[in-house]
Amino acid sequence: MSEIALQVRSAKRAWAHPGSSHDRLIRGALIVLPAGIGILSAFLVLAPLFMDGNMSFVLDKNRVAMANERLRIDAAEYRGQDAKGQPFRLHAGEAVQKSSAEPIVQLRDLSAEIRLPEGPASLKANNGQYNLDTERVAVSGPIKFQTSDGYMLDTHDATVDLKTRRMQSGGAVSGTTPMGVFSGNRLTADLEKRTVSLSGNARLRIYPKRANRR
């Protein structure tokens, strides 16, 4: 193998190595996207203040004495850029608050996307709840994170606390990278410090052939 080829291989390994700029970029996306879903949930509750043709705030006029009211938003979408200028998109198929007596907004069909230098990354979740009192988003069911360059993470039942800016999965997490596979009993993330960690039987298996191709 030529000296130039060796230099290219060495550069690729450094680029994909844990702690590299690319590794930090992926970990950043793992934080930004769940936070985005939490922020989207809060945005949906405030959306009627900026009402347009796609949003509606409906008061239930039945039993006025009980002051029942409903918040319903269909196919809400929010687009913007993060601090690095990377465009992102947040989407919710539906957000419903059944009653003013219940501080829970039910969320359905949640997704978030961000465009990284290496390509798009996405996060999808089926259902969730936003608690207006505690400012917590509880995502129920499977959660899938995926990038276009070979990173994938699967977990379920995560909670995002918008006050403390922390996220925690409710169960086991597993995933793949271009270099191998990893798993753990739980994933936690500090959205403020931008750190992600695995706990409980955390395992990482690196496949040499994959690593060499990087």
pTM of this structure:
0.61
Q: Say what angle helices 21-46 and 3-16 make with each other, to 10 degrees.
A: 30
The per-residue pLDDT for 185 is 93
pLDDT at 58: 36
pLDDT of residue 145: 80
Amino acid 160: pLDDT: 80
Task: Supply the pLDDT for residue 155.
Answer: 83
* CATH code of the domain containing 153: 2.60.450.10
Structure tokens at 198: 């695995």
* Dihedral of alpha carbons 52, 86, 121, 30, sign: negative
Tell the residue number behind the tokens 């995502």, with chain if given: 139
Q: What is the mean pLDDT of each run of 10 residues along the chain (214 residues)?
A: 45 46 50 52 39 35 38 72 74 78 82 79 83 83 82 83 80 83 84 73 78 53
Look at residue 24 in the predicted model and tell me its pLDDT: 52
Question: Total structural domains in the chain?
Answer: 1
Say if CB 179 and CB 165 are below 8 A apart. Answer: no
Q: Containing domain of residue 12, as a range?
A: 3-213
Dihedral sign computed on CA atoms, order 10, 16, 18, 24: positive
Residue 34's pLDDT is 57
pLDDT of 38 reads 55
pLDDT of residue 23: 52
Contact 71, 45 (CB under 8 A): yes
